[in-house]
Structure 1
Amino acid sequence: MTANALTQLKKLTTIVADSSDLAAIEKFRPLDATTNPSLITAAANQKENKQLIEDAFQQAQQEGYQDEQLIERTIDILTVKFGVEILKLIEGRVSTEVDAALSYDTAATIAKAKELLALYAKYGVSSDRILIKIASTWEGIQAAKALEAEGIHTNLTLLFGLHQAKACADANVTLISPFVGRILDWYKKAENVDAYPIDQDPGVLSVKQIYFFYKQHNIKTEVMGASFRSIDQVLGLAGCDLLTVAPNLLAELEQDQREVVAQLSTDHAHAHTEHPHTPISEAAFKAELEHDLMASQLLQAGIDGFIKAREQLHSLLAESFGVIREIKA
């Protein structure tokens, strides 16, 4: 009997759970896991996580935080607590995101990353099991460069183009997360089409281009496809270093019986036309980003979306613990 698509895929690619749902992570047992503000906010709404939230709030209180800063500290502690719980269920790493509001502030991003790692250390978690997740702005990439120089591993997210990937390679970041589904969504709207064949899917093609570039130039940074809309997109990138997949798509892959064939490999990479690899300057990066309407729009929309998700979590926690009422009193 042929193994299901998920089992076959795991032989070609490291599968990462794109979720903060502890039950889903326990079920699928991925090697690594990723989180983001939207996923943390969704998890905070689950009744089974009530104790985690209360513990985070009490810890922030004990540290002396008050009012708005009390809630912000609670969010950071809660984010790390979810990471700690996830790490109990997996063998590898968890990605933990820096507040997206800091995406254009290099120094603040570095400081927040170290705050998060200090929290993990309090829970006895080694920094080797953490990827600090940062938006792929120029400022974010420079923060990652500084962190990597200190031995702190990073995951550069909200990545939509080769220019961002080149800057991440220059910064020696550990891992990048190019977004497949969001690129597809943008092109479907821009070109007014309902669907693309998988071999013409703009999101899949973007990740392939980045993967080939990295392998052609022996760049050590890992490529992790993210933000999938279908299992066809996932299987279209079989062989990629890593793929982070939502639980609903993992379940679909588990039920699918098709034969899975590697679409990406070092051999594939060297069969394609090489792009030259020269360091990209800040001016060139920002010029390319500005001229790439898809990448510039999706990067800013992604940052705005993560900020909004954190604000929603802030409001949820403030209301839950009566902080708003205390401020008004």
Structure 2
Amino acid sequence: MKFFIDTANLDEIQEAYDLGVLDGVTTNPSLMAKEGITGQDNILAHYKKICDIVDNNVSAEVIATDYETMMKEAHVLAKIDDKIVVKVPMIKDGIKTIKALSSEGIRTNCTLIFNAGQALLAAKAGASYVSPFIGRLDDISVDGLQLIEQIVHIYGNYPELQTEVLAASVRHNMHLIHCAEIGADVATCPLKVITGLLKHPLTDSGLAQFLADHSKGN
């Protein structure tokens, strides 16, 4: 499973990259605003800074909701760097945009997926990734992981569909582990979820014991 980090913070992206397990980055307007990045020129420049850190797969989101403007924004984003994946919302004009961009060889990430039908439409349109938001489904007492499993199963029925399942809104370590168990291609999450996989109390106590025993012999 690929690990993406869901942030616009350059320090966090660099830390995840230095760990050696980072496969990409996802961002959105809210994450940009959280870092104080506003204004079109500043946002585009920030995307380029992210691309300069990672090896591939930087999802950059269009803001428009109509086909013509989404296409214009997508072309601007795609020109930033070959690593850019244009993030497009799951709406009617979004599907049209994904189809058009796919025909041009521009990779896309269909975002705000909340049911299997939406995921199937996005895959038919040629999306490179679909992003089901499991945490937000959990928030309304719907099993987000079950949706991931359902989409993985449907895509598995049709090998011609090359769309990857990108589990988004991953909130904690067990979300990440369960996504791996059920076959998600990618999980995107905050840095703390990735680094949380490093931790176990028995690892800490075992290491402390090893070091204590070593010091006794010196």
Q: 1:114 to 1:255 in 2, by over 3 A?
A: same
Alignment of 1:150-299 (within 5 A): 150-187=104-141, 202-218=143-159, 219-238=161-180, 239-256=183-200
Partner SS state of residue 33, structure 1: strand
Using CA pairs under 8 Å that are at least 6 residues apart, name the structure with larger relative contact order, 1 or 2: 1
How far, CA to CA, are the matches of 1:25 and 1:116 in structure 2? Answer: 19
Count of aligned pairs: 195
* Cα shift at 1:142: 1.1
How far, CA to CA, are the matches of 1:168 and 1:243 in structure 2? Answer: 18
Query: Structure 2: which amino acid aligns with 1:213?
Result: I
Deviation digits for residues 8-53 of structure 1 (CA, Å, limit 9, x no counterpart) = xxxxx11001111111111111111011011101112xxxxxxxx6
TM-score (norm 1): 0.57
Q: Which residue is equivalent to 2:2?
A: 14
How far, CA to CA, are the matches of 2:56 and 2:201 in structure 1? Answer: 27
Q: Contact (CA 8 Å) 1:80, 1:96: kept in 2 or not?
A: no
Match of 2:72 among 86, 111, 121: 111
Alignment of 1:46-125 (within 5 A): 75-99=39-63, 102-103=64-65, 105-118=66-79, 120=80, 125=81
How far, CA to CA, are the matches of 1:138 and 1:256 in structure 2? Answer: 45
Q: 1:228 to 1:36 in 2, by over 3 A?
A: same
Unaligned runs of 5+ in 1: 1-12, 45-52, 54-73, 189-201, 259-329
Query: Structure 2: which amino acid aligns with 1:33?
Result: V
Partner SS state of residue 236, structure 1: helix
Alignment of 1:306-321 (within 5 A): none
Deviation digits for residues 108-131 of structure 1 (CA, Å, limit 9, x no counterpart) = 11111112234x1xxxx23xx110
Pick the structure with more strand per residue.
2
Q: 1:256 to 1:89 in 2, by over 3 A?
A: farther
Partner SS state of residue 119, structure 2: helix
Partner SS state of residue 92, structure 1: coil
Q: Contact (CA 8 Å) 1:35, 1:96: kept in 2 or not?
A: yes
Q: 1:117 to 1:235 in 2, by over 3 A?
A: same
Pick the structure with more helix per residue.
1
Query: Structure 1: which amino acid aligns with 2:87?
Result: K
How far, CA to CA, are the matches of 1:142 and 1:153 in structure 2? Answer: 14
How far, CA to CA, are the matches of 2:133 and 2:190 in structure 1? Answer: 13
TM-score (norm 2): 0.84
Q: 1:27 to 1:170 in 2, by over 3 A?
A: same
Partner SS state of residue 85, structure 1: helix
Q: Contact (CA 8 Å) 2:170, 2:187: kept in 1 or not?
A: no
Q: Cα RMSD (Å) of the superposition? A: 1.7
Q: Contact (CA 8 Å) 1:79, 1:96: kept in 2 or not?
A: no
Match of 2:35 among 30, 43, 60: 43
Q: Which residue is equivalent to 1:296?
A: none
Q: Contact (CA 8 Å) 2:112, 2:132: kept in 1 or not?
A: yes
How far, CA to CA, are the matches of 2:134 and 2:146 in structure 1? Answer: 9
